[in-house]
């Protein structure tokens, strides 16, 4: 049976239950711990609890959230904060586009598509890349929505806990928690075993420290742009070579 011909055995409700079950455990716990670090940082930056929680839900990307907290702490203007957050989260555009071919049969309204795009972040995105190809088309959106909802719930709770515990734990401990999410993402992405993903991971790990040393403000977005472009280009050339140059 072709993967495109896969049929749902139990319907959307079963897909939602499977998504929730897959998210409980390491994905939700890692986001919980990572957002504890952000909650602590946000309180030290002068944000209140509800603004901090709204940041987790609205931005839904740890680098962008940290940019906002740090720029708020130094009194940056609103426009500069918005631009910094947009630059830090620019990676979500190619991530969303990468999911588009896997949702080719989805006919949801533009509001549903906009809501779906808001849920795109690293952990659910990697889960979608792993599981969508072997999943019936009608199960993919319910699965992803449930998986993302559990992850966001864990992140919101972690944000609140970290905010309340700020100052009670050593600062290096709480802030080091923010690195759990990219570390977990790196391990999961390496398990995907797509050549382009592995190339992006390795090249990003090599470029990141160098570019951060050159420009702490632009090191992260530049690393994403250059490492991703490099991985895409190398993978494209290797695929083209393996097919004898055919397009």
CA angle 186, 35, 121 (to 5 degrees): 50
Higher pLDDT, 228 or 22: 22
Please give the pLDDT value at position 244: 66
Please give the pLDDT value at position 245: 57
Please give the pLDDT value at position 2: 45
E strands along 101-192, which residues? none
Phi-psi region of 180 (alpha: psi -120 to 50; beta: other; left: phi over 0): alpha
Please give the pLDDT value at position 28: 87
Question: What is the number of other CB atoms lying within 10 angstroms of the CB of residue 88?
Answer: 21
Buried b (16+ CB within 10 A) or exposed e, 26-60: ebbebbbbbbbbbbbbbbbbebeeeebbebbeebb
Please give the pLDDT value at position 195: 72
Please give the pLDDT value at position 21: 93
Residue 69 scores a pLDDT above 80:
yes
Do residues 119 and 152 lie in contact, with contact meaning Cβ atoms separated by under 8 Å? yes
Instruction: Tell the residue number behind the tokens 């957050």, with chain if given.
Output: 85
> For 199-233, what is each residue's pLDDT tens digit?
777 787 788 778 878 887 787 788 878 888 898 88
Please report, in angstroms and rounded to a whole number, the separation of the first and last CA atoms in the chain.
Answer: 27
For residue 167, report the phi and psi dihedrals to the nearest 5 degrees.
90, -15
pLDDT tier for residue 17 given thresholds of 50, 70 and 90 = very high
Do residues 125 and 95 lie in contact, with contact meaning Cβ atoms separated by under 8 Å? yes
State mean pLDDT over 163-177.
Answer: 71
Higher pLDDT, 232 or 184: 232
State mean pLDDT over 2-28.
Answer: 77
Instruction: Out of 79-88, 131-140, 167-176, pick the least confident.
Output: 167-176
What's the helix, strand, coil split of the chain in %, to 5?
A: 80, 0, 20
Instruction: Out of 115-119, 134-138, 193-197, pick the least confident.
Output: 193-197
């Amino acid at each position: 049976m072709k993967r495109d011909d896969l049929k749902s055995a139990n319907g959307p409700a079963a897909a939602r239950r499977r998504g929730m079950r897959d998210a409980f455990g390491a994905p939700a716990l890692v986001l919980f711990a990572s957002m504890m670090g952000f909650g602590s940082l946000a309180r030290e930056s002068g944000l209140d609890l509800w603004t901090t929680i709204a940041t987790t839900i609205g931005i839904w990307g740890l680098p962008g959230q940290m940019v906002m907290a740090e720029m708020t702490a130094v009194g940056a203007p609103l426009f500069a904060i918005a631009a910094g957050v947009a630059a830090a989260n620019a990676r979500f555009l190619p991530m969303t586009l990468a999911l588009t071919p896997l949702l080719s049969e989805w006919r949801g309204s533009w509001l549903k598509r906009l809501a779906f795009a808001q849920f795109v972040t690293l952990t659910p995105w990697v889960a979608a890349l792993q599981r969508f190809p072997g999943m019936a088309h009608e199960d993919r959106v319910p699965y992803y929505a449930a998986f993302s909802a559990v992850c966001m719930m864990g992140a919101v709770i972690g944000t609140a806990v970290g905010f309340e515990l700020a100052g009670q734990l050593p600062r290096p401990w709480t802030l080091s928690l923010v690195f759990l999410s990219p570390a977990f993402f790196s391990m999961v992405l390496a398990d995907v075993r797509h050549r382009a993903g592995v190339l992006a991971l390795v090249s990003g790990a090599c470029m990141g420290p160098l570019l951060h040393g050159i420009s702490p403000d632009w090191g992260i977005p530049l690393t994403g742009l250059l490492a991703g472009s490099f991985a895409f280009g190398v993978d494209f050339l290797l695929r083209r070579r393996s097919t004898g140059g055919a397009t």
